Amino acid sequence: MVDFAKYQTIRIDRRGRVLTLTLNRPDKLNAVDKAMHGELASVFGDAAADPGSDTVVVTGQGRAFSAGGDILWMQEMIDHGFGQTAREAKRIVMSLLDCEKPVIAKVNGHATGLGATLALFCDVIFAADHAKIGDPHVCVGFTAGDGGAVIWPQLIGYARAKELLMTGDLIGAPEAARMGLINHAVPAAELDARVDAFADRLAAGALVAIRTTKSSLNIGLKQLAASIMDACLAFEAQSNASADHREAVAAFREGRKPKFTRR
């Protein structure tokens, strides 16, 4: 069996042949810090290798799915560099795409930044109808380089993706479902039951056929991610050293609006 006991920021639960990975920093809206980022780089590989499950669910503890990157961690990256983060970010995306098991996102609340990236790289996405989804990297002077530039255009086309990624606007789950960004927006009270039913349906299905169908569909996405993730992360590293990103992080920590100088 895979040793999941090592995970400190991601809770692992089993229900029959369904494995649930819960982002577990509810007091921080499941914002991703250095520790969680490192765990995300390995947890999908471990879930794929786990012999006790056939379907994987990803969700958040509390009222958010994930608020994206933790602002204190952003300051740490400004101070100490972006290299380890870039390596882990690529592993997160590629391990999600490499996982042969169906991965279902249960978006229980807002999913922003890296939180949105995690949800959108899952195979089927259910969201509570009050949830909002968006990638506001640019709002903190950061390039949307952790996977957003890969997955958003594939789901909703380049025109919509460019608008949403260049503005950082959030959209409600019902609108996200209408435009094809996610599969289903459902009442919050029904979210658990809807995801459980769908996960059980897949877990009871023709295992080999489902896994190989997913793998076939992901070939193009894997080729795309492999071809552009290094460049995306290099641009994100460049923005990590920018004056505007430093200003945005400082402004957030000081509770004021940033004053961008376009540098």
pLDDT for 181 equals 98
Query: What's the CA gap between 202 and 9, in Å, rounded?
Result: 27
Which contacts of 187-196 are long-range, i.e. CB under 8 A and separated by 24 or more positions?
Answer: 187/128, 187/129, 188/108, 188/128, 188/129, 188/130, 191/106, 191/108, 191/126, 191/127, 191/128, 192/106, 194/126, 195/57, 195/59, 195/104, 195/106, 195/126, 196/15, 196/18
The yes or no reply on domain 10-189+202-207 and CATH 3.40.50.2300 is: no
Q: What is the pLDDT of residue 1?
A: 75
Count other C-beta atoms under 10 Å from residue 196's C-beta.
17
Q: What is the mean pLDDT of each run of 10 residues along the chain (263 residues)?
A: 93 97 98 98 98 97 97 95 96 98 98 98 98 97 96 98 98 98 98 98 96 98 97 97 96 94 92
CA dist 68 → 84, 146, 224 (Å) = 17, 11, 23
* Domain extent listing, the chain: 10-189+202-207
pLDDT, position 191: 98
Report if pTM > 0.85.
Answer: yes
